[in-house]
Structure 1
Amino acid sequence: MQLPMKLGIGGGIMFSISVFFLFIAFPKILKSQIHKASALIPGSEMRNLWADLPIPLDFRIFLFNITNAEAIAQGENPIVKEVGPFFYDEYKQKVDLVDREEDDTLEYSLKTTWKFNAAKSNGLTGEEEIVFPHLLMLGIIMGTLKEKPTAMGLVGKAINSIFQKPESIFIKAKVKDILFDGLPIDCTVTDFAGSAVCTILKEQAADLVNDGENKYLFSFFGGDEHEIFVEFEPMTGTPVSARKRLQFNIFIQPIDKLKLMKNFPYALLPLLWVEEGILLEGDFIKQLKSVFTVLKVVAAFKYIFLFGGLGMCGAAGYLQYRKRVSNTMEVTKMPENGSKPSTRDGDDEKKEWPLNVQTLQGAAVPANLD
């Protein structure tokens, strides 16, 4: 087999492998394998990893300390000062998993645990005291104003009963009590207004933590755990870094039937903001890097085979062309006057034959030549 043909066949094979396997088939195979590996099959490594992530998320909290609480009661706009970050390691665990084969979904409850990280809190401990609105008290007031404003007089009496006649809706408390440990709520009251509101709180306030008979603790994050019921459909993809920020605010306004807020301004009161995020590192990054290394190698071979095949086909074509040119007839260059010398055998007389197109194509030669 001649060299041009060998090059042509080899180049065609390389080009075909590049186009049909590396460009078309391989991405489909890879996608199928990723989808298969990420399926949340009971007992699989991926499901165990998804249900109980072994690394914590970063959870930073910044609170707004009220610096002019008394002035707000007289109608001035709030002035706040940011305090933070209070850094927590956040662990998320999915429990009570239920597979639903009929629609290929998964139902679960989400349990979240926070552990204070003093090393990343810039010297803060959670023991710091700040002036902050009593969230349960303010929530009861603003909820009543929105849903049933005619009951505001009754709610005012309940506030005085449950919270022992507070002088303000703002309290001075430790950050850890506001966020997690909880502020005391006394539902041992026996008056009609207080008992009525406490009954509603027991039925609807899921964030209350029992602290004795008819005594509770209320915090922003509601005790030890939160539960969320969702529908989940498995998706492929791995976030290397992710961040989510969320700020909590509450509207305040003057309420004529409530002495504590009678002269309040119309304002948006900032409470706190949180940032939740994750940055994969260690073994997780090594696994990702190994996958991307394979992808880079495949990508390199893809273009090597593509351009290598095209190059070999081009070389085969060039060699074949050179071979054809070398096998063509050589044409002698004629004199500039366009004539070609010719002689008869045995005769010293020379005769010039005109050179024209017909001559090159086959001019007639005299029949009688000695």
Structure 2
Amino acid sequence: MNRRSISCFNFLLLISGTALILSAVGSFFLSEYMVQNKIHENVVIKNGSDAYKFWLDPPATIYRKYYLFDVRNPLEVEKGEKPQLVQMGPYTYSEVWEKRHIEFLGPDVIRFTPVVTLHFEPSLSNGSESDTLTFLNIPAVGMIEQTVRSRFKELGPTLVNTLLAFLNTKLFVTKTAGELISGYNDPLMKLAKTFMPQVIKDEKFSLINGKNATEWQNYTMMTGNDYASNVAKIIAWNGLEKLNFWESESANLINGTDGTFYPPFLNRKTRLYSFNPDMCRSYYLTYLKDSVINGVHTYDFHLPKDAFYNSTLNPDNDGFCTNCLGNGVLNISNCYGGVSGFISQPHFLNADEKFVNAVKGLKPDNNLHDFVIHFEPTTSVPLGGNIRLQVSFYMPQNDKINLVKKVKPVLFPVVWFDETLALNSDTAAQLKKVAFYMKLVNIIPIVMATLGGFILALSAFYIFKEFSTKKAQKNLRLENAERMNESSRLVDKADQKVYS
């Protein structure tokens, strides 16, 4: 290869390497932009789209597992002893999700009524709905609470004692698991319905609270047509754009989605906001760890340990502390007719130790009781998860009410539930493909840049080699010229001697 051809070869290498690097930079930004646009296009909730079908009928298996606490020493508790609890269950129910009365209010907004129907699954349960257990008489405790506070204050302790005795009301009741979950007739509920018809609409008491297969709520939300970040963002719940349960403007805000659909492009620093009507508030999940579910790389998000802390320890909770009992429990009485109900993590996980120590039989465990959802990060589709929450009721002590004269005040766990979600294998496989394509999109520019860098290095090597060769040749010519000059000088000296 002659000198001219080597220079041309180096020039081609230099151009090729530079072009590859510039193409890598361009493809990195352009391909990312194109992929984001494509994903945005595919997650918009519009009639007939895949996202709409996914939202309408999630391709997942969903179960709700109820764990009930049986009080083994009710007579002793009435005398002031510590409650002895034994966890029963799970009593497992399959969930069927429906969306009814769907109405598009333009391309950006949709209104609908979600309906969840539960079906008992004996084969997946540890026990049957006919199992009996003893638990706190929640309607009675609610009436006592309201008497002491304000709503029934005019009745007075004497009249309340007379009424409770006339109805043969006990502090603890024994019912079947099915009755506690689905409902049983209670005379105090009938009375409460008479006094508070706008709040109490059923003469039965149940943990489901009349929400099984009923149209008790509706949502207005964004479709994501304008921005991907607005996918499934709630605008209003039951006609309310803000809640009225809490003591601050921020606490009453309805933030995020309904918890079944999320905006795409998740990252580890994201706070995932959702509104939960059972909590009567919005909440957020934070990144926990990377994981792999069914071969798909996921980001696991969970309920942070300070989710139910007071605002001193968690300023985000300003306004939620209504009649606080401590950290880790949220008083939801304002949206449940005044009954002193509290939401927490199961077994008072991440709550003040006094709640665990006030009863016997609780063992909080992160592996069993944490609230965790596994998300494919590009689409934010949940591949699986466990939504775990506990409902407890406060048992007060009052010297003027016979039923609770001798008891020690305690926050009584009644039930915790574990709502499990698992995406079907076909959808998981599709998400695996999406993840692969995203990796490919990210890898191709790196490969191009690496190849371009290698070619530039090769070009530099040949240029250096050519330069070194030219320099060596130049030095050789100079040496030869010096030798010739030296020879000429010797000849001249010899001539001088001959002719002198």
TM range (shorter): 0.7 to 0.9
- The SS at the match of 1:179 is helix
Instruction: Tell me what 2:176 maps to.
Output: 174
Counterpart-to-counterpart distance in 1, 2:156 and 2:62: 42
Q: Which has the higher contact order (CA 8 A, sep 6+)?
A: 1
Counterpart contact for 2:67–2:88, Cα < 8 Å? yes
Kindly state the Cα deviation for residue 160 of structure 1 after the two structures are TM-superposed.
4.8
Shift of 1:63: 0.9
**Aligned position for 2:494:** 349
Report what 2:113 is aligned to. Answer: 109
CA distance in 1, matches of 2:495, 2:437: 82
User: Is contact 1:343–1:351 with CA below 8 Å preserved after alignment?
Assistant: no
Question: How far does residue 155 in structure 1 lie from its aligned partner after superposition?
Answer: 4.3
| Contact 1:67 1:131 (C-alpha < 8 Å) held by counterparts | yes
Question: Matched residue pairs, number?
Answer: 329
Which residue of 40, 49, 68 maps to 2:54?
A: 49
How far apart are 1:152 and its partner, in Å?
4.3
Say whether 1:294 aligns with 2:437: yes
Q: Which runs of 5+ in 2 are unaligned?
A: 223-230, 232-262, 265-379
Q: Tell me how far apart the structure 1 counterparts of residues 418 and 406 of structure 2 sit (CA, whole Å).
A: 34
Deviations 1:29-48 (A, max 9, x none): 11111111101112322112
Q: Name the counterpart of 2:80.
A: 75
**C-alpha distance in structure 2 between counterparts of 1:50 and 1:239, whole Å:** 12
- 1:257 deviates by 3.8
Q: Residue 239 of structure 1 aligns to a residue in which SS?
A: strand
CA distance in structure 1 between the partners assigned to 2:496 and 2:103 by the alignment: 111
**Is the aligned partner of 1:11 residue 2:17?**
yes
> With structure 1 as the length reference, what TM-score do the two structures score?
0.78
Question: Contact conserved, 1:152 with 1:257, CA < 8 A, in 2?
Answer: no
Displacement after TM superposition at 1:108 (Å)? 2.7
> In angstroms, what is the RMSD of aligned CA positions?
3.1
Max Rg structure = 1
Q: CA deviation at 1:109?
A: 2.4
Identify if the C-alpha distance between structure 1 residues 300 and 111 changes in structure 2 by more than 3 Å, giving closer, same or farther.
Answer: same
* Displacement after TM superposition at 1:58 (Å): 2.8
State the identity %.
Answer: 19
Q: Does the CA contact (< 8 Å) of 2:99 and 2:112 recur in 1?
A: yes
2:207 corresponds to:
220
Deviation string, structure 1 residues 194-252 (Cα, Å, up to 9, x no partner): 9864412544214x2xxxxxxx4331102423533344341222122322211111111
TM-score by length of 2: 0.59
Contact 1:130 1:175 survives alignment (8 Å): yes
Segment of structure 1 superposing worse, 286-295 or 263-272: 263-272
Of 454, 463, 475 in structure 2, the residue corresponding to residue 311 of structure 1 is 454
Q: Which amino acid aligns with 1:199?
A: T
Contact 1:342 1:350 in 2 (8 A): no
User: Tell me, what secondary structure is at the counterpart of 1:113?
Assistant: strand
Higher deviation after alignment, 143-152 or 80-89 = 143-152
Of 164, 168, 173, 1:165 maps to 168
Q: Secondary structure at the match of 1:138?
A: helix
Aligned 1:243-322 pairs, distance under 5 A: 243-322=386-465
Give the 3-state SS of the residue equivalent to 1:64 in structure 2.
strand
Kept in 2, the 8 Å contact 1:343–1:350? The answer is no
In the alignment, what sits opposite 1:364? none
Residues 394 and 411 in structure 2, CA contact (< 8 A), matched pair in contact too: yes
Gaps of 5+ in 1: 188-193, 209-215, 353-368
One-letter identity of the residue aligned with 2:199: Q
For residues 102-130 of structure 1, give each alpha carbon's deviation from its aligned partner in whole angstroms, at most 9, with x where no partner exists. 9x3433322111222223223x1121100
Which digits, 9 at most, give the CA deviation of each residue in 1:322-362, with x for residues without a partner? 3344345224559xxxx9343577x781689xxxxxxxxxx
- Contact persistence 2:60–2:424 (CA under 8 A): no
Q: Give the CA deviation at 1:66.
A: 0.7
Report which stretch shifted further, 227-236 or 266-275.
Answer: 227-236
* Cα distance in 2 between the residues matched to 1:281 and 1:344: 98
The 2-side partners of 1:254 and 1:340 are apart by: 120
CA shift, 1:101, in A, is 3.8
CA distance in 2, matches of 1:351, 1:290: 93
How far, CA to CA, are the matches of 2:80 and 2:404 in structure 1?
Answer: 9
Residue deviations 1:251-283 (CA, integer Å, cap 9, x gap): 112234432222222112111111123232401
Q: Distance in 1 between matches of 2:447 and 2:190?
A: 80
Tell whether the 8 Å contact from 2:395 to 2:410 is kept in structure 1 after alignment. yes
Change (3 A) 1:24 1:350: farther
- Mapped to 1, the partners of 2:381 and 2:191 lie a distance apart of 50
State the SS of the aligned residue for 1:172. strand
Question: How many Å apart are 1:296 and its aligned residue?
Answer: 2.3
